[in-house]
Structure 1
Amino acid sequence: MPDLAWFAWALLGLAAVIVGLSKTAVPGAGTLAVAIFAAVLPAKQSTGTLLLLLIVADLFAVTMYRRHANWRVLLRLAPAVVVGILLGVLFLFAANDEWVKRTIGVILLTVIAVTLLRRRMGRVAASEGPHRVAAATYGTLGGFTTMVANAAGPVMSMYFLAARFPVKEFLGTAAWFFAIVNIAKVPFSVGLGIITPPGLVLDLVLVPFVVGGAFLGRWLAGRLDQVLFERLVIGFTIVGAVYLLV
């Protein structure tokens, strides 16, 4: 069992609840969990430990929203995501923790700025979804950020918001996307040594908090209107990106 102070356990428990909540109600909130884990645990160990909790939450999200996914969008993203994951693996070998956090923070803020600018200019997505160039760009960034820091939630949230998905279609598409991607990351994470025995023990303790957060999110999702949902996603994304920069 990891030797942590009581307040560290409290923070990790809160982060675990946020993980479940972010998968079933407010996707952008997941970045806060990333920040908490990185503050309490060594940076790379936090990535591996958090990954397994994310997979547990993904399974609940897929079960709850499995009928609402947009598979055309997911298939369009797939090639770019694979490229992004491979780039992320290479980046983890070459960069230190400080460079990783700052790079992701810059990417997230840039994505937010571009998305809000497009909305202000009145450019809406076509019926077939965002352009293939956007899919390639967001997919690569999503694959990269999820590999290096489990921080693809905000990137992909901006992409799905640009597609103007209703709340349940947004959550269903995101659920399948992250379930597939996070499971695919496990072999790489084991090879990089960021999934550790102490991390597995920690995950066993925190799983009930993830499950509770997932059911809380399911209850909230049915009560969020579209405008509030989108504002929460953008707000949590900005908070998470700023944290990674400072």
Structure 2
Amino acid sequence: MTSAAMALLAVAALLIGFAKTAIGGVASIAVTIFALVLPTRESTAAILLLLIVGDFVAVWHYRRDADIALLRRLLPAVLPGLLLGALFLSRVDDSTLRRAIGGLLLVLAALQLVLTWRSPDASRVGSSRAAAGSTGAAAGFATMTANAAGPVMTLYLVAQGVDKRRFLGTSALFFFGVNLCKVPFSVGLGLFGSETLSRTLALLPFVLVGTWVGLHTARRLSQTRFDQAVLAATAVSALALLVG
């Protein structure tokens, strides 16, 4: 791998750490970088280990802010979504997977934009069992195939009207659990080679630096800017994958 490629992966690792403790949508840009630099299948495993490290830091810092009740509504539907995502991964080539990731992210970004203009009844819809079930299944599929369930969770949590710290705490706990569950699936698909593991170890310090920057940024970020940044990051990364 060239030094330029490793530098891009280091930037992506920084963005992962930043996303986990500040603006979740920025992780979509990291997903895009990994999918463009590495073979797409390999990229899903390489980035997964880095995401788990970022999740751990975020869970520890925001441990008092997680909303367990919201998570309980999602969990029953996550496993079917993971299984469907694993099946999809086993059947498509890299080019198809890359464009599927981009299309998925772009659709979710559009849904977030619609949600910004939602009707007064949106919070009631977001609290329904159907919304929780569909969010859980979509998050499971998106995170298994693309490590890209952040926009799905954003839709759900914004519909609940959660504040910034509750948003970050709930997302952190959800993704820490889901990403740990994904490890056996990725191992079964043969995605964890020795090169992937050694590259992950080399990038870990950059994730930790990113989490530190994110924690300091989150304290200064307003809720409006937070929502706008998540949407913009998701849209940019989706377009990059679709045209890449």
* Range into which the TM-score falls when normalised by the shorter chain: over 0.9
SS at match of 1:67: coil
Q: Is contact 1:102–1:244 with CA below 8 Å preserved after alignment?
A: yes
- Find out whether 1:159 has 2:161 as its counterpart: no
Aligned residues: 243
Q: Is contact 1:73–1:129 with CA below 8 Å preserved after alignment?
A: no
Task: Name structure 1 gaps, 5 residues minimum.
Answer: none
How far 1:136 sits from its partner (Å)? 1.6
SS at match of 2:156: helix
1:196-215 correspondence to structure 2 within 5 Å? 196-215=193-212
Aligned partner letter, 1:41: L
| Alignment-derived partner of residue 49 in structure 1 | 46
| Counterpart-to-counterpart distance in 2, 1:111 and 1:218 | 26
The TM-score normalised by the length of structure 1 is 0.93
Q: Is contact 1:77–1:139 with CA below 8 Å preserved after alignment?
A: yes
Aligned partner letter, 1:134: A
The TM-score normalised by the length of structure 2 is 0.94
Aligned partner letter, 1:185: K
| Counterpart-to-counterpart distance in 1, 2:25 and 2:133 | 21
Per-residue displacement from partner, 1:122-176 (whole Å, max 9, x unpaired)? 2354479532212122221111011012111122222222222111000000000
| Alignment-derived partner of residue 66 in structure 1 | 63
Runs of 4+ in 1 over 3 A off after TM superposition: 123-129
| Counterpart-to-counterpart distance in 1, 2:236 and 2:202 | 27
Instruction: Decide which of 172, 185, 193 is 2:182's aligned counterpart.
Output: 185
Q: Is contact 2:16–2:210 with CA below 8 Å preserved after alignment?
A: yes
1:5-44 correspondence to structure 2 within 5 Å? 5-44=2-41
- Find out whether 1:225 has 2:225 as its counterpart: no
| Counterpart-to-counterpart distance in 1, 2:121 and 2:18 | 28
How far 1:226 sits from its partner (Å)? 0.6
Per-residue displacement from partner, 1:96-125 (whole Å, max 9, x unpaired)? 222222233333333333343344242354
Aligned partner letter, 2:136: G
How far 1:232 sits from its partner (Å)? 0.4
After superposition, the Cα gap between the structure-2 partners of 1:207 and 1:230, relative to the gap in structure 1 and judged at 3 Å, is same
Task: Name structure 2 gaps, 5 residues minimum.
Answer: none
| Alignment-derived partner of residue 171 in structure 1 | 168
SS at match of 1:165: coil
After superposition, the Cα gap between the structure-2 partners of 1:122 and 1:89, relative to the gap in structure 1 and judged at 3 Å, is same
Aligned partner letter, 1:34: V
| Counterpart-to-counterpart distance in 2, 1:220 and 1:118 | 25
| Counterpart-to-counterpart distance in 1, 2:222 and 2:3 | 37
| Alignment-derived partner of residue 242 in structure 1 | 239
Instruction: Decide which of 93, 98, 105 is 2:102's aligned counterpart.
Output: 105
Instruction: Decide which of 129, 134, 148 is 2:131's aligned counterpart.
Output: 134
| Alignment-derived partner of residue 80 in structure 1 | 77
After superposition, the Cα gap between the structure-2 partners of 1:171 and 1:186, relative to the gap in structure 1 and judged at 3 Å, is same
Q: Is contact 2:15–2:207 with CA below 8 Å preserved after alignment?
A: yes
Per-residue displacement from partner, 1:4-48 (whole Å, max 9, x unpaired)? 211111111100000000000000000111111111111111111
SS at match of 1:68: coil
After superposition, the Cα gap between the structure-2 partners of 1:146 and 1:186, relative to the gap in structure 1 and judged at 3 Å, is same
Report % sequence identity: 47
| Alignment-derived partner of residue 143 in structure 1 | 140
| Counterpart-to-counterpart distance in 1, 2:197 and 2:118 | 47
